[in-house]
Amino acid sequence: MSHQTGIRCNEQLLQFISKCKTESTEQIRLIKVSIHNEELILDEYKEPADDWEEDYRRFVKRMVLVSEPTYILFRLDSRDASGTYEWLFILWTPEDSSIRKKMVYASTKATLKQQFGGGNIAHDYFATTFDEISFSGLQSWLKSNKEGLPLTREEQELKTVRRDEALSSCITKTNKTLPGLEFPIDSEAINALFDLKDDNLSYVQLNIDVKNEEIRLCKKKTTNELDIHNIETEIPNDSARYHLIVFRHTFDGEFHKSIVFVYSIPNSYISVKERMLYSSCKSALLNAITDRIGIQIDKRLEIDNPGELTHNFLIEELHPRVDIVRKAFDKPKGPVGKRGGKRLIKTNGDD
């Protein structure tokens, strides 16, 4: 759970929100909210000029700055079951903004949603680049995110049964010898992995409790809590860990949501026993994550230096560049030793 900052909407913003959600809803397309002097303030708003798609293309990119975070509440044309207009909530935290600003905006997001009315928000979008906040970036995200209808009672019961089955199978201790060691996964770690699968978490860090011979949850973070552009700061440099990262990014204009498994094992500070345990448990843990919990891992990495795991490094690993080198055409040589002697061609000037 994110720590809230205590920053709240000022009176002007509260009155505007109340007004635009009652008698003036159709007259408002977009609300830009910023933090100023420890308050959430109304920065700017726009009235509709066309349908929501054209208005998104027209307004949104013009509303954001390259180094300043902001919130955008964008009214869609769709309505919920009660007939109320649905809204898109955007948190814009550009890569060039300071870490402090990113943290403040991420931590204040829940307050703004609560004071606006979370029940009216149909989609919750997080963007850090102009590609992501563009209309095509939003479309790609909506398509890949597949924000669908709530689960039916039967679907929820089936989901619970599958979680319980995974829990019972993963916590059963098996006695094996190296290699291929399988330690049980504690219930807190399993629940965190299921939360990551269900898109409620974006980062899970696991470690091995050597004394009790089990895999435990070390750390977990939501999308708002995780600074994906400084992901290397989550990696300890004095102990081994397993990491699962939900890496949301845009590449060549397309939005991607990739799940990356990282096994970090520093070159120093690690005993031989610990190194062997982490190496031997990795395969069984991956099998449990993919087969029993059902997480599809897009990339598996092993690093020995936390500084390696940068945002750009993940991009390069997930989307390797293919260099196509066009070689000059070389005339093939004839068979060795079968070329024969040189021919003499007589010209008119020769005797």
147 and 51 Cβ atoms separated by less than 8 Å: no
Q: What is the pLDDT of residue 162?
A: 59
Q: What is the DSSP letter of 254?
A: E
Predicted confidence (pLDDT) per residue in 262-299, tens digit? 999 988 778 888 888 899 899 989 998 998 888 999 99
Rounded Cα gap, residues 13 and 89, in angstroms:
16
158 vs 279, which has greater pLDDT?
279
Domain ranges of the chain: 8-145, 154-318
Checking if the pLDDT of 126 tops 70, the result is yes
Q: What is the DSSP letter of 234?
A: G
Q: What is the pLDDT of residue 246?
A: 94
The yes/no answer on whether domain 8-145 falls in CATH 3.90.180.10 is no
83 vs 65, which has greater pLDDT?
65
At 69, is the pLDDT very low, low, confident or very high (cuts 50, 70, 90)? very high
Checking if the pLDDT of 171 tops 50, the result is no
Residues 6 or more apart in contact with residue 109 via CB below 8 angstroms: 2, 71, 91, 224
Q: Would you state the torsion angle of the CA atoms of residues 228, 233, 236, 238, taken in this order, to the nearest 10 degrees?
A: 150
Q: What is the pLDDT of residue 14?
A: 92
3-state secondary structure 21-60: CCCCHHHCCEEEEEEECCEEEEEEEECCCCCHHHHHHHHH
Please, is 93 exposed, middle or buried when counting C-beta atoms within 10 Å of its C-beta (0-12, 13-18, 19+)? buried
Q: What is the pLDDT of residue 240?
A: 94
Q: What value does the mean pLDDT of the chain take?
A: 81
Q: What is the pLDDT of residue 179?
A: 42
Which range has the top average pLDDT, 11-20, 246-255, 332-341? Answer: 11-20
* Superfamily per CATH, domain 154-318: Severin (3.40.20.10)
The total number of residues shown for the chain amounts to: 351
Question: Stretch 323-343: mean pLDDT, rounded?
Answer: 52
Predicted confidence (pLDDT) per residue in 218-246, tens digit? 999 988 788 888 889 999 988 999 999 99
pTM: 0.53
Question: Stretch 145-170: mean pLDDT, rounded?
Answer: 54
Predicted confidence (pLDDT) per residue in 72-103, tens digit? 999 998 887 777 888 999 999 888 888 888 88
